[in-house]
Amino acid sequence: MTAAPPHVTLVPPVNVPVGDIGAALGVRGPSLYKHVGSKQDLLVQIMVGTMNALIDDQHTARSAGGDITTQLRRMVEAHVRFHALNSEQAFVGNREIGNLEQPHRDRVLALRAQYERGLRDTVAEGIAAGVLTTPDPRLSSYAVLDMGIGVATWFRPNGPRTADQVAYAYADFALAIFGAIGAGGVEFR
């Protein structure tokens, strides 16, 4: 159980009957409890799993090497690609935080802060190296993360651009936001 059923993404899981969740997964409602202890447990699994996947993707992008601008580009591409290809998880991860009980809410918020800090620290490193010029790494990081999150609301696999094309273009936008020296226009590849 790693993906949220579509029904759960439309209504807060705390308000969705177990039978509906089970039906969306192709099991009888009560059978769902063989896999998760409660709807809260399911929400925690989705949200923690989503954040861990994002952090892993960010780490992979950063550790692939290259100069700081290339690393930053890869990080933004991974962020956008994840949101394009995992819109249901992204929806739950960004809209259901208020339905998490403690201590799970604090755990997810800490993971979100770690993720944002990873991007912001890379931007700060680029500023220190003289290749980025944004006056506010935190605010520009928030802008780029929010921009990528928004892709989950409109991207469709059968649309006019692939997830990779959108990710490449958004990385160009992000480099401009971060004030990358020599950042040109946006190319759709």
pTM > 0.85 = no
* pLDDT tops 60 at residue 65: yes
For the chain, the distance separating the N- and C-terminal CA atoms, rounded to the nearest angstrom, is 35
User: To which residue do tokens 């709807």 refer?
Assistant: 39
**Rg of the chain, C-alpha, whole Å:** 18
Model pLDDT for residues 30-47, shown as the tens digit of each residue? 665 566 668 888 899 999
The average pLDDT across 172-183 equals: 89
Q: Which of 1.10.357.10, 3.90.470.10, 1.20.200.10, 3.40.50.300 would CATH assign to domain 6-177?
A: 1.10.357.10
Q: Which residue has the higher pLDDT, 187 or 105?
A: 105
The rounded distance, in Å, linking the Cα atoms of 175 and 163 is 18
* Residue 27: per-residue pLDDT: 63
Domain positions in the chain are 6-177
The average pLDDT across 151-163 equals: 96
